Amino acid sequence: MKKFILASLAAVALVVPQAVFAADAPVLVSTAVLPDITLKSASNAAIADSVANDQGVLLGGLGSDLYHIPGDAADIFYAITDRGPNNDTVQPDKSAGTGFVVPTFSPLILKIQISGSQVKILETIAIKTKSGAGATGLPNIKGYDAVPTDVKGITADTLYNLSGLDAEGLVKTANGDFWIVDEYAPSLAQLSSTGAIKARYVPTGWKGNPTSFKAVKSIPSLYLTRKANRGFEALALTPDGKTLFIGLQSPLLNPTKAVGDASLATRILRFDLGSKRFTGEFVFGFEKVSLVDAKATKNSDLKLSAMVALDSNTLLVQERTDNSYLLSTITIDESANILGSKWDLAATSPSLESYTGVGTNAEVEKLIAASNKKIVFNSTSIASMPGKIEGVAVLDANHIVVVNDNDFNFAYNTTSGLVDIGKLKTSFLTIKLPVALPTYPEAAAAKYGKKCSEAGLEAPGLTCTAFQGDLRWRK
């Protein structure tokens, strides 16, 4: 795979004017499948005795995100699971619940190597508290998060945990820290290189007061109206290592659920790693649901699930349903920064989320237009594309790797009271895009003295060169 990618890279320009995007067909280069590994063995390898009984469930759910460090070898990635295997349940009062099949499981970060059809796990890191206890994937606050239950629909106070994370987006910074996003609070979390939670940045007014980590309540309080299980989903680190962009999966339920479900406008936050402050908020406009998925009819089916920072101001964004997705580039325009504006106030009417398409809210439409969105890939162009693609990594201007979320590949059998294991595997697909991206992270990082991955690669004014046993960008 690496030789194919690098040969292709040498044949493309690193900066391609957006106006010359062509309509070439995409190519599925390879598909690698995660081998069968029991959830118990994966979890206990990271935290001893953390899972006593995995009910037969296999390691999965790795589609939550995929991250490739610019300059790393083209076959090395980091992946992250979500909160763990869960199923929809019905409580005794007939209300809905979320059943946790393995409640002691904590989300895992895996360093992996992809070679052809093979996936090799190089390192497994569990998300944990500073004491070393598993953080778990359990919800945080009763009455705010969706109700957790056992597989039969019975809830209990022990199924809440302020350290619990429904982990999604993932990046790794130069100092070894991981940053992830979470759907519960919603939160941005800083983890040590060993997975210990250092801090969670949560909305102002979040009712949790944890003692095992620092809770920084600095996100606009309006984010408390996030849809349950639709909090922060996407995370991107700029190639200079200074800035994070955080994507909200679905529109806020602002001012009501009906408005949020109908909305085509979600939000992207910007976070400065140096000052640990939020410095921006921008609007992302979804396409018509029928353009993303011909089978879907509801705007609420749309989700922003992955982002990659191609440079400091250009994001590759994935919008999807459970069936298919689009990838688009957007530009971060400071004139469209709404942080601290009226759009963060619950009293603003009509709300930002009132936007349901062209002509429905002129002010919001102008903010969306400032992003100069351009669709570069439609997943339906590859017939064998799995559903629920949630993780996207960029290798070069022409190649990406995506991964599906197989939801731990199980179903709970209410008749037998046992878990049935399915056949859907976690798959990593390497794809040659139909159009070249305007830039990509490794090339954008060249001017910052970052490592490069192969001698002879070129960035504007620089070439990847062997120097004193290392590869560096040189003039």
131-188 pLDDT per residue, tens = 999 999 999 999 999 999 999 999 999 999 999 999 999 999 999 999 999 999 999 9
The 3-state secondary structure of 53-92 reads: CCCCCECCCCECEEECCCCCCCCEEEEECCCCCEEEEECC
**Cβ partners under 8 Å of residue 101, min gap 6:** 55, 57, 84, 85, 86, 87, 151, 408, 410, 412, 419
- Is 12's pLDDT higher than 80? no
> Residue 18 has what pLDDT?
33
- Is 1's pLDDT higher than 50? no
Query: Using one digit for the tens of pLDDT, what is the confidence trace for 417-432?
Result: 889 999 999 999 999 9
> Residue 463 has what pLDDT?
87
Average pLDDT over residues 317-334: 98
Nearest Cα to Cα of residue 114 among 80, 74, 81, 82: 74
Phi then psi for residue 294, to 5 deg, are: -65, -20
Mean of pLDDT over the chain? 93
- Is 21's pLDDT higher than 60? no
Query: Using one digit for the tens of pLDDT, what is the confidence trace for 293-322?
Result: 999 999 999 999 999 999 999 999 999 999
> Residue 475 has what pLDDT?
84
> Residue 470 has what pLDDT?
85
> Residue 78 has what pLDDT?
98
Query: Using one digit for the tens of pLDDT, what is the confidence trace for 364-377?
Result: 999 999 999 999 99
pLDDT band, residue 471 (cuts 50/70/90): confident
Q: Domain residues of the chain, as ranges?
A: 2-444, 450-475
Sign of CA dihedral 454, 460, 465, 467: negative
- Is 362's pLDDT higher than 50? yes
- Is 363's pLDDT higher than 50? yes
> Residue 265 has what pLDDT?
98
